[in-house]
Structures are given as structure tokens and as C-alpha cells.
Amino acid sequence: MTVMVDIRSVHKSFGPLDVLKGIDLQVRTGEVTVVLGPSGSGKSTLLRTINHLEKADRGEITVDGTPIGYRRAGDRLHELPEREVLRRRTKIGFVFQNFNLFPHLTVLDNVIEAPVSALKRPRKEAEEDARRLLARVGLADKSAAYPRQLSGGQQQRVAIARALALKPRLLLFDEPTSALDPELVGEVLDVIRDLAARGTTMIVVTHEIAFAREVADTVVFMADGRIVEQGPPAAVLDAPREERTRAFLAKVL
Ligand code: ADP
Ligand code: MG
């Protein structure tokens, strides 16, 4: 098995606040890693650091064998120009809690925006792909709608189609169902479940424990900037070794 994401001794602070205190994590190609942990434990910062929206202060992260923000020369790392960072970042899809769709663009235009502007793909070709992706997330009939005309669950499915439009090697989800009404959570989890079945490499931050048990290859429990415990769902969720994991699960289950 090859490693898609390799995180070594990553530290990140905001001023005096140490948010990531030495994170080591490997995500294998084709596997789903679910990250759990209390609010403020550093989960979002970890995802943002993986795609270089935040710069790690120390440590190293590679995605598909290369760092997103650096070029290696011998044993030294040189920062890359923003243009190259943006280009490398296109191999990572990011799905946010609040969808972050462009409100003034139709569903179809949301999905083709990045392939056309960042990857310079011909519009016609990008549209064909986008229609196929929208059908895959169950929204074939919504391509001309605007985000405000859709439910939260539909908007999040558009956001997933948009992330997929870049043909990413890796998908990151930051609490993709936390902003949804309870009856809309299932339709979004179904899409993520389908991606997992197709062998998509994903890191999913979520509090949906039943989903984690079913879909995750690895469950990671974070607290206070550290990985407290990680392993297969049956170990971490059903027989946690650490008291902090037990206390957290008792609250969310
Ligand atoms: P989680 O996603 O687990 O809730 P976050 O990674 O969002 O945790 O945040 C971890 C800590 O870092 C929190 O205390 C948060 O307030 C702080 N934090 C996150 N981003 C920033 C930032 N850009 N500037 C300052 N503090 C931040
Ligand atoms: Mg968060």
C-alpha cells in the first residue's frame, strides 16, 4: 500500500497558542481516515495545514509524495511561489462545513469554475464532466439553479461535485454535515459513502460516529493539539484505550 498523505512532527501555533503539538499521521492510498475530537482540538487546522492554507511551523507534510508549499533541494526546503502552490493544491479537494459555494454562479458554473480557471480546461469538456458529477451526487436536474435555491444538503452535494471536478488525489472534509438539518445529513453521508466505495482517499472530520464505524479504515481521536489514539474503528470506537477518548465518545454517542 502506498502512502497518500505523510505528516511528520507537525507543529502549528497562532501567536502564543500551540494548536498542533507534534502530529504524525499517515493516510494510505484508497483509505478513509475519520478524525474525531472536541471543538478546539486542532482538527480544522490540521486539514488546512495539509493543503497549505496554513503553513506548519515545524515538521513536514507530503501529499502524493510531494510537499504542497515547498520544493526540496538536497535536504533543504524552498518556499514555492503562490502560483505553484495553487497548482499543487488542485490535487486536493476540500469540502467545508458551510459549503462555500459562489452565490452568484449557477450550480454548473460553480462546478466548472476551478477546472476552467485553474486547470485551463476547455469549457465544453469541463461542462460534460460537471454534468456527469452532478448526476453522480443526485443533482442532474439542478445545474441551472443558484445555491440559494437549494437545500443545505443539496448545496453540500454541489460542493462535493465541485471538489471532484479537479480530479483530486485526496479529498478533505471538514465537518461536512454539521451545518445541516438532521434530515439532510443522510443524503450527504450517502455521497461520501459512495466515494469511499470507489476507493477515494479521504480525511473526514466529523462527529457522525455511526458513519465512522461503517466507512473509516482508520479513526483518529485528537485532543488538545495531539493525536491521542488511532486505529481501526472497532478498536478506537468500541474499545478505546485512552480515558480522554472514552470521555469524548460518552458525550457524542
Ligand atoms: P477544531 O477544528 O478541532 O475545532 P481548530 O483547528 O479550528 O479546532 O482550532 C484550534 C484552536 O486554534 C482554537 O483554539 C482556535 O480558536 C485556534 N485558531 C484556529 N485558527 C486560528 C487563527 N487563524 N488564528 C488564531 N487562532 C486560531
Ligand atoms: Mg473545526
Q: What pLDDT score was predicted for residue 21?
A: 98
CA distances from 127 to 130, 188, 221 (A): 5, 23, 39
Going from the Cα of 89 to the center of ligand 2, the distance in angstroms, rounded, reads: 20
Residue 127 lies in a domain: yes
Domain encompassing residue 125: 102-166
Going from the Cα of 16 to the center of ligand 1, the distance in angstroms, rounded, reads: 12
Q: What pLDDT score was predicted for residue 73?
A: 86
Query: What are 5's strand-pairing partners?
Result: 27, 63
Residue 159 lies in a domain: yes
What is the gyration radius of the CA atoms in the chain, in angstroms?
Answer: 18
Mutate which of 44, 54, 248 for ligand 1 pocket (most atoms within 8 A of beta carbon): 44
Going from the Cα of 40 to the center of ligand 1, the distance in angstroms, rounded, reads: 6
Ligand nearest to the CA of 225: 1
Residue 97 lies in a domain: no
Mutate which of 10, 45, 227 for ligand 1 pocket (most atoms within 8 A of beta carbon): 45
Residue 17 lies in a domain: no
Identify how many contiguous H helices and E strands the chain contains and give both numbers.
Answer: 9, 11
Going from the Cα of 124 to the center of ligand 2, the distance in angstroms, rounded, reads: 36
Number of C-beta neighbours around residue 76 at 10 A: 8
Q: Is 39 in the pocket of ligand 1 (CB under 6 A)?
A: yes
Going from the Cα of 86 to the center of ligand 2, the distance in angstroms, rounded, reads: 23
- pLDDT tens across 126-154, in order? 999 999 999 999 999 999 999 999 999 99
Which segments of 69-219 does DSSP mark as H helices, in order? 82-89, 107-117, 123-136, 152-164, 182-197, 209-215
Cβ distance 101 to 155 under 8 Å? yes
CA angle 182–183–187, rounded 5-degree value: 110
Please state the pTM of the whole predicted model: 0.96
Q: What is the number of structural domains in the chain?
A: 1
Return d(Cα 156, Cα 159) in angstroms, integer. 5
Q: What pLDDT score was predicted for residue 234?
A: 96
**Helix (H/G/I), strand (E/B), else coil: 123:** helix
Nearest CA to ligand 1 atom 1: 40
Residue 47 lies in a domain: no
Q: Which of 236, 206, 106, 235 is nearest to 162 (CA)?
A: 106
- pLDDT tens across 104-124, in order? 999 999 999 999 998 899 999
Return d(Cα 115, Cα 108) in angstroms, integer. 12
Residue 160 lies in a domain: yes
Residue 124 lies in a domain: yes
CA dihedral 115, 117, 118, 123 (to 10 degrees): 30
Digit-by-digit pLDDT tens for the chain (253 residues) are 799 999 999 999 999 999 999 999 999 999 999 999 999 999 999 999 999 999 999 999 999 999 999 998 888 889 999 999 999 999 999 999 999 999 999 999 999 999 999 889 999 999 999 999 999 999 999 999 999 999 999 999 999 999 999 999 999 999 999 999 999 999 999 999 999 999 999 999 999 999 999 999 999 999 999 999 999 999 999 999 999 999 999 998 7
Q: Is 14 in the pocket of ligand 1 (CB under 6 A)?
A: yes
CA angle 154–155–159, rounded 5-degree value: 115
Residue 81 lies in a domain: no
